[in-house]
């Protein structure tokens, strides 16, 4: 019996164990984590798969494989999968430990997914046989969504840039490419949090959005810088005003890119064009300029000043200050108290 629901992928398993040709249709759940066992020869090991359907049309899948010594050196087929996404969709698979050889039929391809080499697809349907290397335990995490969802989250222009950078402009198309492990870790963590109910759904959804933002920022590093667009200037100016009033630890570039709705590399490029230096350089310079004024005009303790400026340790602040001005903040404060002009170099 097939399960049908608009916008929700259906996975059809045909188990490949010699003793059974049983088939099973699986529907992504309605927000609650669903776990089902994999049909693995118990003399080789065991495993299970989890399905998790979230808001915004985001769907998670996780497959966990634990092997016994008898499985070492074998490529073990899990089953024959027919996945109907219900329309053109974007999927990423990332593996922690081990190796999976995927025999894909739509289109035909033999691909190897392993730790640090992730799989991507742009397709409405997949038909495949995954063969898992039994030499080591592994966990595969996947995230899928309709292309309309990807475009709604990142914007049509940015979604097209991602597909082009991954070599997925055509539908159907598949690709495997090296990726930073910290990105894949976001997908693995999405289904591992010790939470339940709505808190678990919100956590997983946040990790999915964080992954997409990080993926967009990473792929922009390999893409040509877009031509200067007038509509980017107000966002860059708003960022500049935001940074002028910022205290404490500065957000990373990916967070700022999400907040001001521009790809990370483009945001940094447009900021440099407008203000003559990168975002990081501006933050560092502006904060040290602020520190110089505070040291001259107040008695704020050095440790508290360093904390307000986002330095993890007061010594880091002292070194950065000396590198910028040629003298230490302590020397500046002593000279200010003595009302003596400070020389250009170290006092």
Find, among 258, 267, 183, 170, the residue nearest to 218 by Cα.
Answer: 183
Residue 130 in contact with residue 102, Cβ under 8 Å?
A: yes
Q: What is the pLDDT of residues 268-313, one digit of tens each?
A: 888 888 888 889 888 888 888 888 888 888 888 888 888 888 887 8
Per-residue pLDDT band for 3 (boundaries 50, 70, 90) equals: very low
Buried b (16+ CB within 10 A) or exposed e, 215-235: bbbbbbeeeeebeeeeebeeb
pLDDT exceeds cutoff 60 at 29: no
Domains of the chain, residue spans: 10-220, 232-276, 281-338
What's 143's DSSP letter? E
* pTM tops 0.75: no
128: left (phi over 0), alpha (psi -120 to 50) or beta: beta
Domain 10-220 fold is: Jelly Rolls (2.60.120)
The C-alpha angle 227, 229, 234, rounded to 5 degrees, equals: 140
- For residue range 238-254, list pLDDT tens digits in order: 999 999 888 878 888 88
For residue 106 the two structure tokens come to 């739509």
Bridge partners of residue 50, in order along the sequence: 35, 62
What CATH superfamily classification does 281-338 receive? Homeodomain-like (1.10.10.60)
- 239 contact partners, CB below 8 Å, separation of at least 6: 256, 260, 267, 271, 279
């Amino acid at each position: 019996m097939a399960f049908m629901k608009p916008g929700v992928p259906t996975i059809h398993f045909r188990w490949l164990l010699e003793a059974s040709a049983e088939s099973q249709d699986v529907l992504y759940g309605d927000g609650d984590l669903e776990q089902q066992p994999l049909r693995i020869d118990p003399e080789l090991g065991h495993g299970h798969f989890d399905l998790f359907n979230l808001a915004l049309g985001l769907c998670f899948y996780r497959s966990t494989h634990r092997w016994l010594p008898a499985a070492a050196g074998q490529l073990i087929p899990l089953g024959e999968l027919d996945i109907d996404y219900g329309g053109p969709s974007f999927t990423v698979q990332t593996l922690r430990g081990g190796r999976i050889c995927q025999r894909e039929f739509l289109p035909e391809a033999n691909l190897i997914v392993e730790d640090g080499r992730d799989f991507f697809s742009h397709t409405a349907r997949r038909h495949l046989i995954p063969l898992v290397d039994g030499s080591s335990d592994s966990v595969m995490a996947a995230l899928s969504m309709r292309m309309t969802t990807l475009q709604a989250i990142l914007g049509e222009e940015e979604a097209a840039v991602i597909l082009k950078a991954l070599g997925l402009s055509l539908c159907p198309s598949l690709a495997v490419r090296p990726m930073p492990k910290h990105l894949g870790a976001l997908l693995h963590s999405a289904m591992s949090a010790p939470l339940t109910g709505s808190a678990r759904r919100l956590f997983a959804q946040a990790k999915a959005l964080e992954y997409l933002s990080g993926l967009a920022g990473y792929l922009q590093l390999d893409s040509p810088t877009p031509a200067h667009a007038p509509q980017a200037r107000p966002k860059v100016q708003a960022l500049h005003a935001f940074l002028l009033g910022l205290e404490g630890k500065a957000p990373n570039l990916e967070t700022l890119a999400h907040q001001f709705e521009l790809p990370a590399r483009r945001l940094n490029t447009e900021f440099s064009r407008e203000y003559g230096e990168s975002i990081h350089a501006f933050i560092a310079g502006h904060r040290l300029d602020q520190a110089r004024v505070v040291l001259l005009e107040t008695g704020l303790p050095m440790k508290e000043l360093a904390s307000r400026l986002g330095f993890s340790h007061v010594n880091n602040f002292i070194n950065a200050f000396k590198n910028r001005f040629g003298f230490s903040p302590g020397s500046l404060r002593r000279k200010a108290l003595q009302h003596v002009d400070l020389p250009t170099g170290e006092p």
